[in-house]
Amino acid sequence: VRVAVLGAGYVGACTAAVLAEQGHRVVLADPDARRAGAVRRGEAPAYEPGLGDAIAAAVRRGALGATTDPVEAVRGAELSMLCVGTPPKRDGSQDLRFVKAASRQVGQALRGQRGWHCVVTKSTVLPGTTGGVVLPAVEKASGRRAGDGFGVAVNPEFLREGNALEDARAPDRVVVGALDEASAKAVWALYEGLACPKLTVSLGTAEMIKYASNAFLATKVGFANEVANLCRAIGLDAEEVMQGVGLDARIGPRFLRAGAGFGGSCFPKDVVALLRLGERERAPSRILKAVLGGNARQPLEVVRLARAALGSLEGKRVALLGLAFKPDTDDVRETRALPIYRALRAAGARVVCYDPHAGSGFRALAGSSVRLAASLGEALDGADCAVVQTEWAEFRALPPAEFVARMRRPLVVDGRRTFDPKAMRAAGVEYHAIGLGEPARSARARP
Ligand code: UGA
């Protein structure tokens, strides 16, 4: 299939690379000349493990090209995929500026063209958006009518940043929402080789599946965080508890890792958007409200643990390790490192930050006064406490003795259960973590 992918963010770039890998001919369009240029040179426009290699291979084979002109990309294609951003507005509702612009560009490209074309929304949009916003915008700009002039579909993406290529190559399921049979057929032609469950639904249902999935996963993490805080309070290890819980096939073991809260470009934004939709439609979600409230408090739990161990944070040198919202990405959107950093600073700590990839992104977010260490070792040197916010493999690989050798006080507060408590303590590290209670406490406790 000849595909135009509009938007070379991580979703667009990964989707384009994998579609090209699977035998389709793809042109990636992004008005940002740096992104388009990177793809043309065979490089990744965004940091994502394996993406550079996948793009380089596809470009070399002539299966993937890039342009800054979306109209040109769509003119040569049978199907276009909207992979543009849907940032939140101040009130949490969706800003559809980019979706509308991309729809208009598709329409312009279709004007005067002969062949049938299918427009597919891959951006995460609220139920009703593809039918109520994308479709009329394409109709208006093209002068054609949906149904006979062109097809419309929704194909939500379930990629996780950091695992995006694996997720795209072997998804758990593919969902297609389609206006009509021809539109559904056009999208399924992209996924012929995949053996996973495939679901064909209406446009709105596909849009809602994406939101309900993210909101449920965020709720799962939020619940795990609450259980973890309780476990710590009563002297239990939440990791062990959740291991037992996750063995129930109805629950499943994934997304039960407690931590400093969920961040990223999807969970926080999607939960807010769904919450707002529920309020507007008079079907409010009490659960999602609580999930967001808990997620706002959870990073402060990490700061509380540091304060409890140090007595006061005033004047203490704290190494904040991990600024990306999760490992294997340089993405700092909604990172829990920001509230942790601010709370540490507000309490008077001298904070030195380190992240293998997200340092400059975090500085742009948190302000130019952010002190960035050039290496993990430099961040730890002379620190009174290390707070771990992202569970990077680089941190895990550090021998526990290094904390003792480098830090003024070898105190580690682990917001992501990055380390093995036994190994850390055996090496002489004072180790505290989310969800890790002191067994002595539970042994003494009486119900
Ligand atoms: C999420 C979904 O997992 C994807 O399925 C979806 O496609 C994507 O949003 C999207 O809508 O585009 P992503 O935001 O890349 O993917 O990252 P996740 O791996 O889901 O992690 C989100 C946050 O939850 C991170 O801050 C992570 O640290 C946190 N998390 C995740 C936990 O605290 N505990 C867990 O057990 C899992």
Whole-number percent of the chain with pLDDT over 70 = 98
User: Rounded distance, CA 73 to CA 108, Å?
Assistant: 11
Q: Residue 231: its pLDDT value, please?
A: 97
Residues of 319-356 as b/e, b for ≥16 C-beta within 10 angstroms? Answer: bbbbbbbbbbbbbbbbbbbbbbbbbbbebebebbbbbb
Q: Is the pLDDT of residue 421 over 80?
A: yes
- Residue 138: name the closest of 127, 149, 128, 123 by CA: 149
DSSP state of 208: H
The identity of residue 428, as a single letter, is: G
E strand map for 298-436: 317-321, 350-354, 371-372, 385-388, 411-414, 430-433
d(CA 270, ligand 1 centre) in Å: 11
d(CA 73, ligand 1 centre) in Å: 31
Q: How far is CA 129 from CA 135, 141, 188, 258, in A?
A: 9, 17, 21, 34
Q: Which residues pair with 432 in a beta bridge?
A: 413
Whether ligand 1 lies within 6 angstroms of the CB of 214 is answered as: yes
Q: What is the dihedral of CA 100, 101, 106, 109, to 10 degrees?
A: 140
The tokens for 221 are: 């993490």
The tokens for 32 are: 């940002």
Atom 11, ligand 1: residue with shortest CA distance: 266
All residues at 6 or more sequence positions from 221 whose CB lies less than 8 Å from its CB, including other chains: 255, 256, 257, 258, 259, 261, 262, 267
Q: Residue 441: its pLDDT value, please?
A: 62
The tokens for 64 are: 């993937």
36, 43 Cβ separation under 8 angstroms: no
Q: Is the pLDDT of residue 35 over 70?
A: yes
Whether ligand 1 lies within 6 angstroms of the CB of 9 is answered as: no
Query: Which band of pLDDT confidence, cut at 50, 70 and 90, is reported for residue 447?
Result: low
Q: Is the pLDDT of residue 126 over 80?
A: yes
User: Does the predicted TM-score (pTM) go above 0.85?
Assistant: yes
- Annotated active-site positions, please? 266
Query: Which band of pLDDT confidence, cut at 50, 70 and 90, is reported for residue 114?
Result: confident
User: Rounded distance, CA 432 to CA 374, Å?
Assistant: 25
d(CA 17, ligand 1 centre) in Å: 21
Q: Residue 385: its pLDDT value, please?
A: 98
The identity of residue 366, as a single letter, is: A
| Tens digits of residue pLDDT in 178-227 | 999 999 999 999 999 899 999 999 999 999 999 999 999 999 999 999 99
Locate the ligand 1 atom nearest the alpha carbon of residue 213 and give its number. Answer: 5
Mutate to test the pocket of ligand 1, among 291, 326, 330, 336 (most ligand atoms within 8 A of CB): 326
Whether ligand 1 lies within 6 angstroms of the CB of 223 is answered as: no
